[in-house]
Structure 1
Amino acid sequence: MSDRAATFHALHRPGRPLLLPNAWDHASAAALVARGHPAIGTTSLGVAAAAGKPDAAGATRIDNLDLARRLRDLPVLLTVDVEDGFSDDPATVADYVAELAALGVVGVNLEDGRPDGTLAPVELAAAKLAAVRAAVPGLFVNARTDAWWLGVPDPLDEALRRARSWRAAGADGFFVPGAPDDLVGRLAAEAGLPLNVLHRPGGPGLAALGRLGVARVSTGSLLFRAALGAALQLADAVRGGLDADLPTPPTYGWVQALSAPKEAP
């Protein structure tokens, strides 16, 4: 395992969760790095929407690779949301993830939700995880279930069943977006893997989630949607002559500096 991969693994400490903000382009990633975040993820919605494509439809295979190339020189640990791996062939998924790893990516999210709104069979998801683990042994593989988002019957039992299977297949983390707050502690205790949850505005904060045993808290598409909302709010305020009291955006110079060539040491 590389030093970078080992560092990323070590950031997952149950009880002291890693806040993983999710970026969608170079500027958003570089800005988060400038704010001191040691690791960032990508948001599949943000990456897809920025490219004019739908999310969760298997449309951003190349976009993820292109983004990883653009971010490879940033001093940050990067994990990429690869949806379901863009294939039902485990070997093809493993080859794709190996391409990302060769660009410096230290982790991926691999989900069981399918474009048709169903969950992939647990055995297929496990086979993909095992293939990725064999191809890139040091990579942090975060196995995500959409059991709650897709409204399957008995989502807790189904999620724990998948966690057991995926742990045996070599997963490093277990991501449960949409899981109710009152089940987070049980999931952390019974999944057998570092638990990743999605930050929910108005929901438990990092400290409270840490007390429940959570190891990682992701922002998902929230930052992208908030940025889009802020742009619309400001445009509407300018049009209505009401922009005086809105938050001050970053300066031109600060944003320009995010992409400035770095001087050699």
Structure 2
Amino acid sequence: MHGSAQTFRSLHQQPTVLRLPNAWDAGSARLFESLGATAIATTSAGVAWSQGYADGRVFPVELAVNVAASVARVITVPLSVDIENGYSDDPLTVADNVRRMLDIGAVGINIEDGADVPELLARKIEAIKNMAARNGLEVFINARTDVYLASLVAEEHRLEETLKRGQLYRQAGADGLFVAALVDVEQISAVVAGIDLPINLLARQGLPAADALAQLGVRRLSAGSSITQTLWDHARQLAQDFLAEGRSEAVTETSLAYPQIQALFVR
């Protein structure tokens, strides 16, 4: 049985920050759960790369549902799925796509505005909430704004624009606000004070540690694609050395033992 939406919601109301080392497939999700992750969230970039696609709204929704289902199969903690922009510009289609995620066991989603007008994301959030209400379902909607991440407005206007969008998304029914790439302590405090939602930040160079973020009122910290990117770099280096030198040591010296990995999937 997977963790419920109520359980996931309660994880955003603790004195400590909910830490999410975002997974990119069923194996990484199960590994992170075994290490004590109280919920699993996916990274759309990591998922896309693992399936041979570029990140950025080109991932087939059918494949996204299949990957999410494979993750849900191996974990018992709550699952939140990063669905980029919902895989459509049509709010009703987005709501249908979210329904498919809920049907396989997800209890939360990340959905982003990106370069779209913020009113579009607000309409998508409303459509998702209406779908859930009609079907007696619950879903935690974490609305991601890319004001900082994608430099959507001039630097001096980013805080003001984030607060404006945060209010819009909250009124539409969002359950959390994800301000990706925000690291400035004063601006973090302003967002926490200005938006009556759990605030989610993205692991980033220069961002205070989770305990300090908790003191600022932040409720959720996501690794995003950073663990995936770090492992890609490590795999690149291992394969490069192995191809160049042909030495077994290049790929065996620091590996996790086979029985340790195998034990994660033996129930």
Contact 1:29 1:40 (C-alpha < 8 Å) held by counterparts: yes
- Report 1:116-135 matches (<5 A): 119-135=115-131
- Report 1:42-121 matches (<5 A): 42-73=42-73, 74-113=75-114, 119-121=115-117
- Report 1:177-196 matches (<5 A): 177-182=180-185, 183-196=187-200
1:35 alignment counterpart = 35
Contact 1:22 1:221 (C-alpha < 8 Å) held by counterparts: yes
> How far apart, in 1, do the equivalents of 2:16 and 2:132 lie?
27
Contact 1:77 1:105 (C-alpha < 8 Å) held by counterparts: yes
3-state SS, counterpart of residue 142 of structure 1: strand
Q: For residues 133-165 of structure 1, what are the alpha-carbon distances to aligned partners after superposition, in whole Å with 9 as ceiling and x for unaligned?
A: 121241100001001122122121111111111
Distance 1:129 1:258, change over 3 A: same
Cα distance, 1:58 vs. partner?
3.3
- Report 1:92-241 matches (<5 A): 92-113=93-114, 119-137=115-133, 138-153=138-153, 154-182=157-185, 183-238=187-242, 239=244
Distance 1:249 1:107, change over 3 A: same
3-state SS, counterpart of residue 162 of structure 1: helix
CA RMSD of aligned residues (A): 2.2
Cα distance, 1:87 vs. partner?
0.9
3-state SS, counterpart of residue 7 of structure 1: helix
1:5 alignment counterpart = 5
Contact 2:3 2:77 (C-alpha < 8 Å) held by counterparts: no
Distance 1:247 1:141, change over 3 A: farther
Amino acid corresponding to residue 215 of structure 1 in structure 2 = R
Name whichever structure is richer in helix by fraction.
Answer: 2
Cα distance, 1:168 vs. partner?
0.8
2:25 alignment counterpart = 25
Amino acid corresponding to residue 258 of structure 2 in structure 1 = Y
Amino acid corresponding to residue 143 of structure 1 in structure 2 = A
> How far apart, in 2, do the equivalents of 1:236 and 1:121 lie?
43
Number of aligned positions between the proteins: 255
Which of 103-112 and 128-137 deviates more? Answer: 128-137
Q: For residues 169-190 of structure 1, what are the alpha-carbon distances to aligned partners after superposition, in whole Å with 9 as ceiling and x for unaligned?
A: 1100000111132311111111
Scaled by the length of structure 2, what TM-score is found? 0.88
Amino acid corresponding to residue 93 of structure 2 in structure 1 = T
Percent identical across equivalent pairs? 39
Q: For residues 9-39 of structure 1, what are the alpha-carbon distances to aligned partners after superposition, in whole Å with 9 as ceiling and x for unaligned?
A: 0000265210011111111111111112120
> How far apart, in 1, do the equivalents of 2:201 and 2:234 lie?
25
Cα distance, 1:86 vs. partner?
0.9
Contact 1:188 1:213 (C-alpha < 8 Å) held by counterparts: yes
Distance 1:179 1:14, change over 3 A: farther
Scaled by the length of structure 1, what TM-score is found? 0.89
Contact 1:78 1:107 (C-alpha < 8 Å) held by counterparts: yes
> How far apart, in 2, do the equivalents of 1:134 and 1:126 lie?
12
Contact 1:47 1:63 (C-alpha < 8 Å) held by counterparts: no
Mind listing any 5+ residue stretches in structure 2 that lack a counterpart?
none
Distance 1:5 1:188, change over 3 A: same
Mind listing any 5+ residue stretches in structure 1 that lack a counterpart?
114-118
Q: For residues 229-260 of structure 1, what are the alpha-carbon distances to aligned partners after superposition, in whole Å with 9 as ceiling and x for unaligned?
A: 2212333455556968x973211122223333
